[in-house]
Amino acid sequence: MKQSIPQNVDAYISDFPEAVQERLQKLRATIKKAAPGAEELISYKMPAYKLNGVLVYFAAYKNHIGLYATPAAHSKFEKELSAYKIGKGSVQFPLDKPMPYSLITKIVQYKAQLNAAAKKVKKK
């Protein structure tokens, strides 16, 4: 990957080999479908999605795609994520294994619910 900050998500994705680009495009579509109306942007040099706050970030690496959804989302789906290498707020999906798009959908929808609830509390 280039060291410069990509101008948009298309530019970010285009910087990877074709097979990785296909996964990233499908991941992107999965996130957009799970959170219609989410703003897509580049933050911390990677694709990010915001709806009432940050939903998720993702980034591609040599051997995996990282999804960053904060610790709250990861603890909610701890059992489903146990097959993957996880950190406090990150999970690594190996490039040599199928991506769990349905699980990613659940994570994004959960984050959207958390963000909407937090926004309601803030308004009060």
**Residue 68 covered by a domain:** yes
**Count of domains for the chain:** 1
**Structural domain harbouring 61:** 9-113
User: CATH number of the domain that 72 lies in?
Assistant: 3.90.1150.200
The CB-based long-range contact list for 22-25 (8 Å cut-off, 24+ gap) reads 23/60, 23/65, 23/95, 23/99, 24/58, 24/60, 24/65
Cα gap 122→76, rounded to integer Å: 23
pLDDT tens string, the chain, 124 residues long: the values are 445 889 999 999 999 999 999 999 999 999 999 999 999 999 999 999 999 999 999 999 999 999 998 888 888 898 999 999 998 889 999 999 999 999 999 999 999 999 998 877 766 5
